[in-house]
Structure 1
Amino acid sequence: MNNEEKKMESRKPHIAVFPSWGMGHLLPFVEFAKRMSIHHGFAVTFIAPPAVTEDIRTLASSLPDIRFVEVSVPQLDSFPKSNPATRFAEMEKYKDPVKDVLGSLKDDLTAFVVDFFCTALIEASAALHIPAYVLSTVSASSLCLMLFHETLDSQTTESLKGMDGPVHVPALPTMPARYFPSSMQDRTHPIYRLFLRNSRRLCNADGILINTFQDLESGSIRALIERKHELLPKGVEKGPEIYPIGPLIRCPDAGHERSGCLKWLDGQPDASVMYVSFGSMNWFLPPDQTRELALGLEASGYRFLWVLRSDKDVSALLLPGFEMRTRDRGLVWTSWAPQIPILSHPSIAGFVSHCGWNSTLESVMSGVPIVAWPLYAEQKTNAFFVANEIGLGIEPEWGANWWVGKDEVEKAVRELMEGEKGRKASMRAAELKESARRAVAAGGSSMDVLTALAGQWKNRVS
């Protein structure tokens, strides 16, 4: 074997990825990179702004085959970083710098994987004839709606926020209009137009990798694979291939110092505590709704761990004396909380969740049923499917503008902890926990899909 042949044999297949901002997007990308590196022998290059790279380095510090290339563009100051308009606008500016980086890596690259906020970068990849894929960090159900957005827009001139009745989407359960993602609700809002354009840009990808698995969203996955043509924008004939490869979720890290809230959970009986948290973005309810939630938790009589981080005085958000009255059975935790270890703790019986997709998958992996309380983005879609299709949880009784009074909070907590719906949700959660583990194990549905895709990419190595 000559030197050139030896070099070719030792060269690893190589992919580049470009994630979006926020832990809900970064974590699935890092877990995807880990699987490609550990299980399939790929080298992975993260292309990202400096601030994002810093987060990724921390999350993926133990993997030697993950590399980093930083790219920078002038920042846009008109929107906060969390605003989707910022993400879409900045991606337009990243196209040329990313194309330069991809060009420098072109001889080694077999694929380029981007976040669904970063579909503008597919143009950079296409110009270099590098196959481009989207890693969808939302559910298969939400992806169906994203792809159908342009068709739905052409079918009506009315905003969904003005509709009272259900809306039909091919191959999906009929869903009330208010459960559609906030980006699809108001036709007059700039975000609506940005997501509408993204509906078609998603179709420029060679494939879409979804952070989900067969047993969790079988109906939506079937819709994307078997009836995709009914969801795609007009004029798009084939569309991207679909690859359900989840759940892409971290394993609990036993090496970190044990959090105080976990020590508190150690002292509680098994399956006795309701965990309450509204996500890593530190979203919290308006003060009057926060107080209703507090009153409902107190009235339920059940133990609770409530993560309530705020730049305000938390005591001022709650009713006077609440923490004192509930000190024997409740803990209001105002610091960062390790969600996966909390959900996997034996004392946890249920989860009052905003239904962000990462939190939903973490609940699935831990076998914990959900009280679905969505706040924004596609969380309402997730909540609908969690409660009505997947069977993983229940919803409180909503008032106007998604208001939940203290009586409804108490009722929802009691139902999940002791009612028939709660019993069924707990059984379903236990089933899905095992299904999720099987999906990513050898021979599982998600592992098989990712292995086949990795094989396709390896075949491109010259």
Structure 2
Amino acid sequence: MKKAQLVLVPSPGIGHLVSTIEFAKRLLDQDESFLITVLVIKAPFALDVDTFNQSLTTIDTRISYITLPQVTPPDDQDPFRSPENYFSIFLERHKPHVKDAILNHVMSKKSSVPVVGLVVDLFCSSMIDVAKELGIPSYVYISSSAGFLGLMLHLPTRKDQVGIEFKETDPDLIVPCFFNHVPARVMPSVLLNKAGGYICFENHARRFKDTKGFIVNTFTELESHAVSSFLGGDTPPVYTVGPLLNVNGQSLMESNLDDQHMIMKWLDDQPEKSVVFLCFGSIGRFSDAQVKEIALGLEQSGHRFLCSIRKPPPEGQFAMPSDYMSFEEVLPDGFLERTKNIGMVCGWAPQIQVLAHRSVGGFVSHCGWNSILESLWYGVPAVTWPMYAEQQLNAFQMVNDLGLAIEMTLDYRMDSNELIVADKIAKSVKSLMEEGSTVRNKVKAVSEASRKTVVDGGSSFAAFGDLIEIMLS
């Protein structure tokens, strides 16, 4: 069997890392001729990925890992003014190390096996230059939606026409990858950013034209309109290979196994599809005032709940949320006692295991793309509560374009002064758990489609085949 080497460069955010590793695993499941090396970049901050990084070699022994040397973060940039710009500059500083790793570790150790591709995260578009220098085809891995990719590809055209970042007061935007006009208020925060964020993403998008193709964690049956918008024109080929999910893997947070056992035991005791699960991603956090409104809203709804809330880092510190020492410090007086028979409040939660549980019937989600794919895979309908990154756009797409979620808010932004009040939360939960039959039925159909698309005869299986054929040709 002819062998070929493939090098992957994910960015160090947990959602990007997990998704990229799942892509590598699925590729090897479909074709064992690849030798895959992942270049691991250490995050500039404590991004809660160390445990995952340490477990990489045990996740799949077919994949090799090289941890790149630590580089100095850009001290002339303020990560709070434009996190995406700061992060992109930080990643670009790894170019010499990426080139060295490919030349002196990947190529030299298996010189008879050609390197047929460098797959880079969208934040690592500067690595396309390394691929060109080494004469290697490059591919961009998109861990977000096809809709988000389409918006990014639209940015250079818009920049040439308008020349400035978006404003929330702009008129609704026509973007070919979306069926409906897109309100400016649901644009990713980076595209509203005047401190370099918008220009940073527009530069990423311009670099994309030099790549051989896009690998997207989605499936045609979910985003048929967005996928069809890429056909024709000069866009590099788009390979929709999702959903790529860690459904059978180990917990990513082994240090929280005791918490996981406690949560799963509690769910075992609940009736089928009776629990609404609230979880807001690895970075999501709320003010004390908002946590109280969430608690009161859940209590008003009368439904069983599992609510994951985490404590914000100290003000001015760029770090991950942490678990509360005691939930009583932030919840309304007497809340835990009043709801002890119907609810559970936790810190970190094993999201994918919870969504897979028979007792979970609804999901209040931050609308991260991985979370959306997980909830669809398990047929759990969601209420939208976006927080950061492109989640507002995801929420808009899920509610308006796809009809697969119930709107609580589309434009909430983490660390804003907006307060979602208890009445609105209670109403959204009731709508989801009591009246959401139309959305629930659509989600069930998409769940079935998501499982068919990844097996022989499915569209994502076929897209993997097309990608493999191009890489090996």
TM-score, normalisation: structure 1: 0.88
Report the Cα offset of residue 350 of structure 1: 0.5
Do the aligned residues in 1 keep the contact of 2:213 with 2:239 (CA within 8 Å)? yes
Gap regions ≥5 residues in structure 2: 44-48, 312-321
Do the aligned residues in 2 keep the contact of 1:246 with 1:440 (CA within 8 Å)? yes
Deviation by residue 1:383-416 (Cα, 9 ceiling, x = unmatched): 0011112222111167997542211111111111
Deviation by residue 1:2-46 (Cα, 9 ceiling, x = unmatched): xxxxxxx5x522101010012110111111111122221111101
1:245 pairs with 2:241: yes
Q: CA RMSD in A?
A: 2.3
Q: Give the aligned partner of residue 455 of structure 2.
A: 441
Gap regions ≥5 residues in structure 1: 1-8, 230-237
Report the Cα offset of residue 253 of structure 1: 4.3
Do the aligned residues in 1 keep the contact of 2:377 with 2:447 (CA within 8 Å)? yes
Q: Give the aligned partner of residue 379 of structure 1.
A: 391
Q: Give the aligned partner of residue 333 of structure 2.
A: 320
Report the Cα offset of residue 91 of structure 1: 2.4
Residue 410 of structure 1, aligned match among 423, 426, 438? 426
1:451 pairs with 2:465: yes
Rounded Cα–Cα distance in structure 1 between residues aligned with 2:422 and 2:411: 12
Report the Cα offset of residue 338 of structure 1: 1.2
1:385-400 equivalences under 5 Å are 385-396=397-408
Do the aligned residues in 2 keep the contact of 1:180 with 1:378 (CA within 8 Å)? yes
TM-score, normalisation: structure 2: 0.86
CA spacing shift, 1:399–1:190, aligned 2, 3 Å: closer
Do the aligned residues in 2 keep the contact of 1:14 with 1:110 (CA within 8 Å)? yes
Q: Give the aligned partner of residue 277 of structure 2.
A: 275
Deviation by residue 1:221-260 (Cα, 9 ceiling, x = unmatched): 111234xx4xxxxxxxx23211110011012448986621
3-state SS of paired residue (1:160): coil
Report the Cα offset of residue 418 of structure 1: 0.9
Q: Give the aligned partner of residue 52 of structure 2.
A: 55
Do the aligned residues in 2 keep the contact of 1:259 with 1:338 (CA within 8 Å)? no
Task: Using the aligned pairs only, state the percent identity.
Answer: 35
Do the aligned residues in 1 keep the contact of 2:8 with 2:119 (CA within 8 Å)? yes
1:22 pairs with 2:27: no
- Structure having the higher helix fraction is 1
1:352-371 equivalences under 5 Å are 352-371=364-383
Do the aligned residues in 2 keep the contact of 1:397 with 1:408 (CA within 8 Å)? no
1:94 pairs with 2:100: no
Rounded Cα–Cα distance in structure 1 between residues aligned with 2:288 and 2:68: 40
Q: Give the aligned partner of residue 307 of structure 1.
A: 308
Deviation by residue 1:268-302 (Cα, 9 ceiling, x = unmatched): 00010000000123x11222222212111110000
1:27-46 equivalences under 5 Å are 27-41=18-32, 42-46=34-38
1:132 pairs with 2:124: no
Q: How many residues align?
A: 435
Rounded Cα–Cα distance in structure 2 between residues aligned with 1:279 and 1:141: 20
Rounded Cα–Cα distance in structure 1 between residues aligned with 2:420 and 2:310: 20
3-state SS of paired residue (1:259): helix
1:31-430 equivalences under 5 Å are 31-41=22-32, 42-49=34-41, 55-56=52-53, 58-59=55-56, 61-76=58-73, 78=75, 83-104=83-104, 105-106=106-107, 107=111, 108-156=114-162, 159-163=165-169, 165-172=171-178, 173-186=180-193, 188-226=194-232, 229=233, 238-253=234-249, 259-281=261-283, 283-310=284-311, 311=322, 312=324, 313-334=326-347, 336-396=348-408, 403-419=419-435, 422-430=436-444
Do the aligned residues in 1 keep the contact of 2:363 with 2:381 (CA within 8 Å)? yes
Do the aligned residues in 1 keep the contact of 2:84 with 2:190 (CA within 8 Å)? no
3-state SS of paired residue (2:229): helix
Report the Cα offset of residue 101 of structure 1: 2.2
Rounded Cα–Cα distance in structure 2 between residues aligned with 1:315 and 1:142: 39
Do the aligned residues in 2 keep the contact of 1:160 with 1:178 (CA within 8 Å)? no
CA spacing shift, 1:171–1:36, aligned 2, 3 Å: closer
3-state SS of paired residue (2:457): coil
Q: Give the aligned partner of residue 314 of structure 2.
A: none
CA spacing shift, 1:171–1:260, aligned 2, 3 Å: closer
CA spacing shift, 1:98–1:209, aligned 2, 3 Å: same
Rounded Cα–Cα distance in structure 2 between residues aligned with 1:141 and 1:168: 12
